[in-house]
Amino acid sequence: MAEDTFDSELDLSGEVCPYTLVKSKLALEDLVAGQVLRITVDNNESAGNVPKGLSLDGHEVLGVNREGKGKWSITVKHAG
Amino acid sequence: MHSGTMRRRGRGSRTVVALLMLVIGAAAFAQSDWIYAAAGDRFAVVDPRDGSVVETGRLATADYDPAAGRDRANIATPLIVPTPGGKYVFFVFADDARAVVVDAESHAPVWSVELPAGTQTISFSSMGETILANTGGTRWIELPHRQGRITGAGRTAPSLGAGAIAFNRRATRVYGSRGADLVFALTASGDAVQTVRVDGGPYDWHISPNFRFLVGVSERRLALVDETRGQATGYLDGSFSGGVFHPSSRQFFALTADGGSIVVAETGRLREQSRIDLPFRLTAIFREESGRLHGLSHSSPFGAGSPVILTDITGDQGIVEFPAGFAEPGVDVAATIVTLRPGGGFACF
Amino acid sequence: MTSIITGLVTGFVGGYALQRGGFCMHSAFRSIAYEKDHSIVRAWLLVLAINIPALLLLEQLGLIFPARAPFSVLAGLIGGVVFGIGMVLAGGCVSGTYYRTSKGMTGSLVALLGFAAGGLMMTQGILRPLRSWALGHEILIAGEEASLYNLPTIFASGFFPGFGLRWIIAGVVVIAIAIFLLRAPKQTFTIGWPWWVTGIVIGVVAIGGWYFSSLEYRDYGLSIVQPTNAIAGWLVNGETGGINWTAWFLIGLVPGAFAAAWRGGDLSLRVPSAGRLLQNLGGGILMGWGANLAGGCNIGHGVTGMSVLSIGSIWATAATMLGVWAMTWLVFRITRSQAGAKPASA
């Protein structure tokens, strides 16, 4: 799966909004168009809000996966 | 993985149950009602739950004694007015323009306060920060109040008629008669917000616990005014001397002028729903927060015609006699209910 | 007893809905200024659009008797801004910290403890004089708490607004909200309930709050601040005077949110860093100060007070948004400068 390969990783366990979205956006700013960022969050609200927010910013969300109890991973491609 | 969750939930629900039981137990004695009675310079406290007289004493403090310089038989029975939170009870001696203040938790007279000359009656605002004193006719004086004491100088208040007045929830509006009409006035300035034409006024005004309805009581009829609509919405003919709202605000219990019955009127259109015939004449009725009604009689066939408190008018009609020597023959007895609301208030949502 | 059962049941449903709908009003307020996704704002506005006409009808029928919060410019402004700042630091609104605590987020639990402590300080403790002072300057309309319903009296002295005019005012507000809601884009990446389900369920719960409270002669709807203070006051001072329907609602809310988190697979104990916990605590205390100065929180003002078009509640909610926006802006700045010094990504 394309979601398994990524250029950069960001672990946001223990963070809640607004930090999850803020840090995700900042991390994406460090990437160039086409690069993939994998973000880990520990609550389902961030797992909804982060891809929603990034998608509306124009980035391409490749997938949101529940890795286990209280753990979600979001893979997103920088749209440039 | 799941067993861990289950175990945690089990512990959580046990904690919740324990917390619930503690709160229920503590809430059971959060509030208490007492019947306060007075005759001349004597007062008595009755527990309405079992009809026991829990306290009797003289209404005198270090700085004031209503019996000083006069016969006990000549002391006019004071008006009893509790503060809205029920912490203090004012016994107003109109002849001396002074009130003895009783602490409703210890049932003991604690101090006295001086009232404006000529004070006949006093009314507390709903939050208790203001006392309006009627000094005869339509003259009213406003006094700041806090914790059973008057904390500043009085100022002339708007004319509100001689009858009973009422306040809205936070005492920003005051309701009273102007001529035959009911006026909604600003407490601060006395400016009229709304003048409601009411047939057959003036009335003594009572406001419902939810502050939506005003019922006027007179010797000719009852009148109902909807505060939100600013209109009179019903009348009920009959001769009445007083009354109280049910805690739900949905009914008004009006005592007939002859003291022989209570008319139960609903507060939609003021139709008579039922009538409670009393075993003997009452001079006043009052109710607990629970809705139980109690009454005061001057002329019961029991206790050789001496005054009694009737507990639970609608139920088994327990009768409380006052201790010997409480009321001198021919001296009036006054009584009212005092509801203590610890920590009550409307400060914060 | 009815009050206890209806409170616990309504609280359970409310907690379930908050959790499944992710009804975080902190996120809603922030998103208005900073984000393109407004689905929680829509859920909130739907709650208002349901409640405004429903409550007016219940009032006209004589089933509820709404009180309104006093409109104190200073208390609402200062309290609201401080509350908003606290919300950002605590990582959620007051209702949010309750339902997040229920799914095992210790940061929210710490914020909640701070909130209760801050509330006691402002209502019974050292900050009480500040509150009395700020609440002392109140604006009334015709001797009543200001609302959009009695606002016309300002322009026509001696005019008494009846129900006819009230319905017109309520209608204008509801139509404005409806137009915004009908233009909603399709919601993506939804975990839990879509915004309109959340809005309807919480809307019905809020109406229940008014109705059940009125049965015990309390003339206000859902609130979180008052029962939190009441429970905290009871635990600290042993006073039970403030324990009412909303306290039972709050006690029911916790297992409701817990059940929703369990069903949604979002139940686990999460412990952030010590620094973050301290920040949550500070945020909680600020929330306690602010909400008690303003006389309500995102629920008491933002949902309940706004549903009866109270100007004091609209003002306090606007001030809260201002606080959220200012603090979020600062957080963006600080996080960015930290990220600039030390790359965030590996």
Residue C345 in domain: no
Highest mean pLDDT among B184-188, C83-87, C269-273: C83-87
Q: Does A75 contact C at CB distance below 8 Å? A: no
Residues above pLDDT 90, as percent of chain B: 47
**Cβ <8 Å between C217 and B344:** no
Contact list in B for residue C254 (CB cut-off 8 A) is: 16
Residue C344 in domain: no
State the amino acid at position C126 in one-letter form.
I
State the amino acid at position A63 in one-letter form.
G
Query: Which contacts (CB < 8 Å, 24+ apart) does range C232-235 have?
Result: C232/C116, C232/C117, C232/C119, C232/C120, C233/B343, C233/C120, C233/C124, C234/B23, C234/B26
Report the CATH number at residue A38. Answer: 3.30.110.40
pLDDT in tens, B82-138: 998 889 999 999 999 999 999 998 999 999 999 999 999 999 988 888 899 999 888
Least confidently predicted of B200-214, B236-250, B305-319 = B305-319
CA geometry: angle C167, C169, C170, nearest 5 deg: 65
Confidence of residue C345 (pLDDT cuts 50, 70, 90): very low
Contact list in A for residue C43 (CB cut-off 8 A) is: none
pLDDT of B344: 45
pLDDT in tens, C214-241: 988 889 999 999 999 999 988 888 877 7
Contact list in B for residue C123 (CB cut-off 8 A) is: 347-348
Nearest CA in chain B to C67: B169
CA distance A54 to C36: 9
pLDDT of B9: 43
- Residue bearing the bigger pLDDT, C323 or A15: C323
Sheet holding B251-256, edge to edge: B240-245, B251-256, B261-266, B272-277
Confidence of residue B182 (pLDDT cuts 50, 70, 90): very high
Catalytic annotation, pick one of A7, A17, A40, A63:
A17
pLDDT in tens, C256-280: 999 999 988 888 888 888 999 999 9
Nearest CA in chain B to C61: B268
Residue A2 in domain: no
- Inform me whether the pLDDT recorded for C324 exceeds 70: yes
Least confidently predicted of B219-228, C291-300, C329-338 = C329-338
Residue A26 in domain: yes
pLDDT of B3: 38
pLDDT of C220: 93
**Which subunits sit against C, judged by 3+ Cβ pairs under 8 A?**
A, B
pLDDT in tens, C98-109: 999 999 999 999
Count: domains in chain C: 1
Contact list in A for residue C346 (CB cut-off 8 A) is: 8-9
**Cβ <8 Å between B186 and C229:** no
pLDDT of C340: 67
Helix (H, G, I), strand (E, B) or coil at B244: strand
How high does pLDDT run on average in chain C? 91
pLDDT of B311: 82
- Inform me whether the pLDDT recorded for B342 exceeds 80: no
Query: C274: distance to nearest CA of chain B, Å?
Result: 24
Residues above pLDDT 90, as percent of chain C: 67
Sheet holding B213-217, edge to edge: B204-207, B213-217, B221-226, B231-237
First to last CA, chain C: 58
CA distance B235 to B253: 14
pLDDT of C241: 73
Q: Counting beta carbons within 10 angstroms of the beta carbon of residue A58, is it exposed (0 to 12), middle (13 to 18) or buried (19 or more)?
A: exposed
Residue C8 in domain: yes
**Cβ <8 Å between C100 and A69:** no
pLDDT in tens, C91-100: 889 999 999 9
Catalytic residue check, A32: no
Confidence of residue B316 (pLDDT cuts 50, 70, 90): low
C 189-248 residues with CB < 8 A to B: 214, 217, 219-220, 223, 225-226, 229, 231, 233-234, 238-243, 247
Contact list in A for residue C270 (CB cut-off 8 A) is: 13-14, 42-43, 70
pLDDT of B326: 83
Residue A3 in domain: no
Residue C283 in domain: yes
Write down the number of H helices and E strands in chain C: 15, 3
Token pair belonging to B63: 């700085």
Count: domains in chain A: 1
Domain of C173, in residue numbers: 2-338
Residues above pLDDT 70, as percent of chain C: 98
CA distance C223 to C228: 9
Residue C343 in domain: no
Element holding B45 (H helix, E strand): strand B42-47
Residue A1 in domain: no
- Inform me whether the pLDDT recorded for B160 exceeds 70: yes
- Give the total residue count for chain A: 80
**Cβ <8 Å between C345 and A15:** no
Suggest the residue from A8, A39, A44, A73 to mutate for an interface test with chain C (most C CBs closer than 10 A).
Answer: A44
Confidence of residue B20 (pLDDT cuts 50, 70, 90): low
- Residue bearing the bigger pLDDT, B288 or C85: C85
Residue C194 in domain: yes
Contact list in C for residue B343 (CB cut-off 8 A) is: 233, 239-242
**Which subunits sit against B, judged by 3+ Cβ pairs under 8 A?**
C
Domain of A32, in residue numbers: 8-77
Residue C290 in domain: yes
Confidence of residue B264 (pLDDT cuts 50, 70, 90): very high
Confidence of residue B28 (pLDDT cuts 50, 70, 90): very low
Cis-peptide, bond into residue B307, ω within 30° of zero: no
CA-based nearest residue to C1, from C206, C205, C209, C216: C216
Q: Tell me the CB-side half-sphere exposure of residue C112, using CA atoms within 13 A.
A: 21
**Cβ <8 Å between A26 and C276:** no
Average pLDDT (B195-222) is 93
